[in-house]
Amino acid sequence: MTDSQLAWKNLWRNKRRTIITAASIFFAVFFALVMRSFQLGAYDRMFKNIIESYTGYLQIQHRDYFDEPTIDNSFELSQPLIDRIESDPNVNTLVPRLESFALAAAESRTQGVMVLGIDPEGEEKVTDLRSKLVKYKLTPEAIQALKKSTIPSGTKKLLDVFINESYSSEGRLLIDLDIGKEDTATALPVLRKYASFKNRYLDNNETSGAIIGDGLSDYLKAGVGDTIVLVGQGYHGTSAAGKYEVRGIVRLPAPDIDNVIVYLPIAVAQELFAAPDMVTSAVLRLKNNDNENVLQSGESLRKLLNEPLTIRTWHELNALLINQMEADSRSGMIMIGILYLVIAFGVFGTVLMMMAERRREFGMLVSIGMRKIKLAKVVSLEMLLIGFLGLAAGVIASLPFVFYGNVHPIRFTGEMGKMYSDYGFEPIMPTLLPDTYYLWQIVVVLIILLIAILSSIRKIFRINVISALRA
């Protein structure tokens, strides 16, 4: 009989103990995997959202712009530079931005605003700004009309709570008004009829149009068709002033941007700030966005750029968010660590007891001539088998959850869902498909087994045959 056969048979001599020990490992592995998968999945989604809706994966900036974001740290985006960048096989296009501060005034109100000069078409591809245009607004008139209409009566009561609220998606409007799936079909045409909001996106040959944030529009009391005046400081201290007509209103998920943002076509912004052809950053659209390719492109592009230009990766642009995520991730790892610690004690306890229980058996085996090294081998194999049994069961049991959660993420509704979207995150929590975190569980279980094996080997080599037989 080979060692492994012997070990396998030994395992099933005391089925109950084997199963309980394997089950405790299974339990730890399963929970650790599912927990980690949701946590990592949520981060993954959050970063994708923020990168794809704002910062992009790579940006070209003036060296000092990151620390001191003023228009004086802008750079000229010349055609040869664009050609050189676009020659990189992984780069799709460049989307320029010119960002600065100004005072915006409408009839009686003034507010400090962030002016963002954009290439309307390019920006649509990077951040999908067009989809954030306000599509519905519950104005007092709209509410009056809706109250007389055929929408569910529960919804009518809610209307006053959301007076003057704007919506860029039907989904959120339906959630706020508590319109369930069954009523959607009847309520939507009514809402479309009375609460639709008419505005439009910027086009490239616009010379005096602007899009402003919903919060800013409320504060300035400037709606579509109204005029706003921007006054500020241009490039190298020139003075900047211009008059623009509001063409569209966007509702951005982050209130601190929504309250102060003014979008202009980039040519118009360059004229306002007396900075022809200058940009403060250029967002790169890449063909391949996985981490390795992004870093590689970043490195190779950096070589193409001359001082004072540099490449900023999304890691640098979102350093704060990454820091927050790390703190959160660390707390998740501590939880899993505690779980394994407790399980490890359970496993040690079992091993210790097994050794005590089988002292006589071991003594007998040694006395009839089994070499201690062979005995140690058999016992180690037993423990490895128990460990792998639990590990394999845990991994297999976690897979359906992880794969299902990836396709059908947990969706937060109600207050929780609102909190997520107020912070600018999608209210969903998907899982991350199996990745290196699966390997970590194996490593941890192996470490626990290793310690258990070492302690039992030590015991075996210390067996005193005479006293063991008497036990």
Partner 1 sequence: MIIEIAWKNVWRNKTRSMIVITAVTIGVFAGVFSIAAMNSSIVQRIDAAVNEELSHIQINNKDFRSSSDIQNVIADFPSLIAVMEATPGVINTTGRIVIKGIASTASKSTGVEITGIDVEKEKKMFTLSKKLIPGTGSFFGSETKFNTVFIGEKLAKDLNIIRYTLTQEAFSKLETEGIPSAVILKLGSLGDQKYPTDKKFSNAVENLLTSSEKNKFSLKIKEAAWSYREGSKIILSFLDMNNNQTGAAFRVSGIYRTNNDMFESLSVFVPVNELRELTGMKEGTYHRVIARLDNNDLTDVVTRGLRESLPGLEVLSWKEIQPDLAMLADMMQQIYGIFMAIILAALAFGIVNTMLMAVLERTREIGMLAAIGMNRRKIFSMIMLESIFLSIVGGIMGMLVSGIVIAATAKNGINLVKYSEGMEAFGYTAHLFPTIDVQFFITTTILIVLTGILSSIYPARKALKLNPVDAIRGE
Residues that bind partner 1 (CB under 8 A): 16-17, 20-21, 23-24, 27-28, 31, 67-68, 101, 103, 108-112, 164, 218-219, 256, 260, 319-327, 330-331, 334-335, 338-339, 341-343, 345-346, 348-350, 352-353, 356-357, 415-416, 419, 422-423
Between 164 and 186, whose beta carbon lies closer to partner 1? 164
Between 423 and 461, whose beta carbon lies closer to partner 1? 423
Taking the complex as a whole, how short is the minimal distance between the CB of residue 345 and partner 1, in angstroms? 3
Between 132 and 359, whose beta carbon lies closer to partner 1? 359
Taking the complex as a whole, how short is the minimal distance between the CB of residue 53 and partner 1, in angstroms? 19
Taking the complex as a whole, how short is the minimal distance between the CB of residue 3 and partner 1, in angstroms? 25
Taking the complex as a whole, how short is the minimal distance between the CB of residue 201 and partner 1, in angstroms? 27
Between 30 and 194, whose beta carbon lies closer to partner 1? 30
Taking the complex as a whole, how short is the minimal distance between the CB of residue 166 and partner 1, in angstroms? 13
Q: What is the 3-state secondary structure (H, E, C) of the chain?
A: CCHHHHHHHHHHHHHHHHHHHHHHHHHHHHHHHHHHHHHHHHHHHHHHHHHHHHHCCEEEEECCCCCCCCHHHCEECCHHHHHHHHCCCCEEEEEEEEEEEEEEEECCEEEEEEEEEECHHHHHHHHCHHHHECCEECCHHHHHHHHCCCCCHHHHHHHHHHCCCEECCHHHHHHHCCCCHHHHHHHHHHHHHHHECCCCCCCCCCCCEEEEEHHHHHHHCCCCCCEEEEEEECHHHCEEEEEEEEEEEECCCCHHHHCCEEEEEHHHHHHHCCCCCEECEEEEEECCCCHHHHHHHHHHHHHHCCCCEEEEEHHHHCHHHHHHHHHHHHHHHHHHHHHHHHHHHHHHHHHHHHHHHCHHHHHHHHHCCCCHHHHHHHHHHHHHHHHHHHHHHHHHHHHHHHHHHHHCCEECCHHHHHHHHHCCCCCEECCCCCCHHHHHHHHHHHHHHHHHHHHHHHHHHCCCHHHHHHC
Taking the complex as a whole, how short is the minimal distance between the CB of residue 428 and partner 1, in angstroms? 16
Taking the complex as a whole, how short is the minimal distance between the CB of residue 27 and partner 1, in angstroms? 6
Between 1 and 320, whose beta carbon lies closer to partner 1? 320
Between 271 and 361, whose beta carbon lies closer to partner 1? 361
Between 86 and 256, whose beta carbon lies closer to partner 1? 256
